[in-house]
Amino acid sequence: MELQGIIKKVGEVQTFPSGFQKREMVIVTEEQYPQPISIEFLKDKGDLLNQLHEGDKVKVSINIGGREWTSPQGEVKYFNSITGWKIEKVDSMGGNEPTQASPSTTTSAPAQGSNVFEEDEDDLPF
């Protein structure tokens, strides 16, 4: 799965007593209702963030994980984690950014005299 957005924050490396390391980054999605998404980079994957800065537009390959936890009182809770494993800068000037065809190039007017309600056999919806 992939997420794309603008980097809002790049955290420092956190090292735990066991030697385990993680680094967090927050991106803000670019959609009608932008969402700040926190993504963890575990172990040596934290190094992927070294050359990135706030304001960079990126595409992040992620895994989503979930786990169940039972409190000492017996209450069951569920937690999700988003873990990044690959990241690439997206050039807003057309470099790696996916391009979309404009609607005028993908649709055409019906031929004169044809029935617009009649379906073509090879007319795919995508």
CATH number at 37 reads 2.40.50.140
Q: Judge whether 21 lies within some domain.
A: yes
How many CA atoms does the CB half-sphere of 101 hold within 13 Å?
6
Q: Judge whether 111 lies within some domain.
A: no
Q: Judge whether 115 lies within some domain.
A: no
The string of pLDDT tens digits covering residues 72-93 is 999 999 999 999 999 999 986 6
Does residue 44 register a pLDDT over 60? yes
Q: Judge whether 86 lies within some domain.
A: yes
Q: Evaluate whether 39 touches 27 at the Cβ level (below 8 Å).
A: yes
Instruction: Report the pLDDT value the prediction gives residue 79, as an integer from 0 to 100.
Output: 96
What is the average per-residue pLDDT within 55-59?
97
Q: Look at the chain and report how many structural domains it folds into.
A: 1
The string of pLDDT tens digits covering residues 98-107 is 333 334 334 4
Q: State which residues form the domain around 23.
A: 2-91
Q: Judge whether 110 lies within some domain.
A: no
Give the C-alpha separation, 120 to 18, whole Å: 63
